[in-house]
Structure 1
């Protein structure tokens, strides 16, 4: 039996980083508003657990994105497929990521993808030339997390 999973990424501003990665990957930011409303009404959470981002209620310190074609729970907004969860942590990033995302462009579309990612707030760090295997770029997201673009 295969297991379900999600990739969790520590951040200093979960909603902002979720916005960046949703735009970069063309994913959707999850909307937990209906679930939050139910939990607040039932007294299971207090207002201190909730914040607002871009006009929607979200859980304080958390934001998630999901692939737009994957199934999701309509009550909670939680994706049931390819999903990234961003959680705020008090400490800053300490060094090189040991796990990172690779984003692949369409054939011949690397320059266009690089420019789009830079427009979203990513930064190019260096180009890697791997001879016959091709080349790619190592970039950073707005919080300094490395990722590759090929």
Structure 2
């Protein structure tokens, strides 16, 4: 679990550093993380879209890579997520790890990048040239926040 908590903390620190350069009124109120499943395992999508978290995208596993998801973590949900990961090392009265549906199949957490949102079958375009981008946000995901919140972290 230390690897998951470390990745979450590293993502939070990177966002915090970048927020300093943004005027307070324009700062986002959360950030996106990239969650990778363990080899041959599936992420529990319902658990990634619960307790304040919003599941933004999922890419199914291939022979080359495991299943992965991008999840929006509002600032006020970050401590809850970290606690759920820490609590995984504690058993329930039934003898099962706490928060197993959320944590058990996670292999890695890191800050989400644009590449992680890429869902097309062809590879993500090279970044060595200027390119026009069009982003589509699911209105249910962005409801209650402006779209800038999703990426200005």
TM-score interval, smaller chain: under 0.3
Larger RCO of the pair (alpha carbons < 8 Å, separation 6+): 2
Query: TM-score w.r.t. structure 2 length?
Result: 0.27
* Structure 1 or 2: more helix by fraction: 2
